[in-house]
Structure 1
Amino acid sequence: MVYAPIKPKKNDLNITGPNTVHIWDRLRNWLNAARRLCSYEEIKAINLDMIEKEISSLENDLSGKEERIGFCHNDLQYGNIMIEEETKMLTIIDYEYASFNPIAYDIANHFCEMAADYHTETPHILNYNKYPGDKPDSLEVENLLASIENYTLVSHLIWGLWGLISDHVNDTDFDYLEYAKQRFCQYWSRKVKAL
């Protein structure tokens, strides 16, 4: 399946505040929170000490390139996309993580979320065989897909840190630690290919 890029349009949203990228600050804030909450053993098992260097490296490699910045949902998984059956009208909900970021990051995160099935006995187990992306037909699509692939790394780091934090602060029936480990594992396995 090939995803065609949306033609650039003037941003009609009237959102106050600077339209600067927020993902790098969020990553660092969540890393600091994870460090405070995790035990020494957890920090070593997940290689959390290496994540700060990875964040800086990604920020350096990905920032400043020609990228479209826009107001992003930042948690665009299927549970936050509602489709009205009769009209097929789409409604996106749950904007608690929304901020300005590279649009490719939002798409990359959506692609990563396709690996999840939160309605199974093991909702924390991710199947990355469901990750989309075939050979593109045009240079524009190819460039977008390359940018998305790079921001997939950022998605894995942010939700890996979220999983670590959630493992310590949430008391729900979800294996946040296993989820975090999978996201970090995907980060390390895809890093060489993406960059």
Structure 2
Amino acid sequence: MISREMARIHAIHAHNGCVPKPNLWIKMRKYFSLVATEFTDQASNLRIQREVPSKALLEQEMLWMKEHLSALGSPVVLCHNDLLCKNIIHNNKEGHVRFIDYEYSSYNYQAFDIGNHFNEFAGMSELDYGLYPSREMQLEWLQVYLKAYKLYTKNTEQLSPRELETLYVQVNKFALASHFFWGFWALIQAKYSSIDFDFLGYAVLRFNQYFKTKPTVMALKIPE
């Protein structure tokens, strides 16, 4: 149900014939510029120096991602960009789901929205990336998504194994960008938010997961 609903949102075109541009790199660069390197709390200062990668390294990785991921050919569509479980409402009586909280929505890469959703399987308060969907589960999810997306965009071509594998590779590579996006977001929240949550610890976990999964993900190749 979630994959079909995401396909429905992604198929919405409200750009009056203009070719939409992805919001990801602009927003990520903006977040990066707002990231604090110093805190009034000394304990936080020590943590950020010890546990968070340097701004120079983060910028280097961000530039590398932009170059590499932009070349993957993922379509730019209307994205939710924050599809965690609490933003999904299941109507059991009607047998469908609907998404809520669209404040992060924008035109963005199709694969980013899906990869971000897969990352959210890990939760937030107690992150567990063992819950990230397996290849088998992803392929099943993506197959349902692509069939629905073709239906909503009136594409009558049969779904090919190459299309499915291509989206799988794109999604897992863009999941890397999702870690950085929310890592930057969490560093900003750590400085300015009044919410009682360890945003700094959350940022550290997201950046750690990025560097942990990057070698495996980068070994994936889009089929010829």
Q: Deviations over 1:34-77 (max 9, x none)?
A: 13665764256301321111111011011133221101111011
Alignment partner of 1:164 is 2:164 = no
Q: Which residue of 2 aligns with 1:48?
A: 54
Alignment partner of 1:189 is 2:212 = yes
Q: Which residue of 2 aligns with 1:88?
A: 95
Structure 2 CA distance, aligned partners of 1:128 and 1:43? 25
- Which residue among 116, 123, 128 is the counterpart of 1:109? 116
Q: Which residue of 2 aligns with 1:13?
A: 13
1:133 touches 1:145 (CA, 8 Å); kept in 2? Answer: no
Q: What are the equivalent positions in structure 2 for 1:171-186 lying under 5 Å apart?
A: 171-186=194-209
Structure 2 CA distance, aligned partners of 1:154 and 1:191? 10
Alignment RMSD (CA, Å): 2.7
- Post-superposition shift, 1:18? 5.7
Q: What are the equivalent positions in structure 2 for 1:108-147 lying under 5 Å apart?
A: 108-116=115-123, 123=125, 125-135=126-136, 136=139, 138-147=161-170
- Distance of aligned partners of 1:8 and 1:141 in 2 relative to their CA distance in 1, 3 Å threshold: farther
Q: Deviations over 1:119-153 (max 9, x none)?
A: xxxx2x21001101324483322211111110011
How many pairs does the alignment contain? 186
Q: Deviations over 1:88-138 (max 9, x none)?
A: 23211111111111100000000000000x5xxxx2x21001101324483
Alignment-mate amino acid for residue 115 of structure 2? A
- Which residue among 64, 71, 79 is the counterpart of 1:64? 71
Q: Which residue of 2 aligns with 1:28?
A: 29
- Post-superposition shift, 1:32? 1.1
Structure 2 CA distance, aligned partners of 1:8 and 1:158? 24
Larger radius of gyration: 2
Structure number with the higher helix fraction is: 2
Alignment-mate amino acid for residue 78 of structure 1? C
Please list every run of 5 or more consecutive structure 2 residues that lacks an aligned counterpart in the other structure.
Answer: 141-160, 219-224
Secondary structure, in 3 states, of the residue corresponding to 2:36? Answer: helix
Secondary structure, in 3 states, of the residue corresponding to 1:114? Answer: helix
Q: Deviations over 1:135-189 (max 9, x none)?
A: 4483322211111110011000011111111111111222111111100000110
Alignment-mate amino acid for residue 113 of structure 2? D
Percent of paired sites with the same residue: 30
Q: Indicate the larger mover: 13-22 or 51-60.
A: 13-22
TM-score by length of 1: 0.84
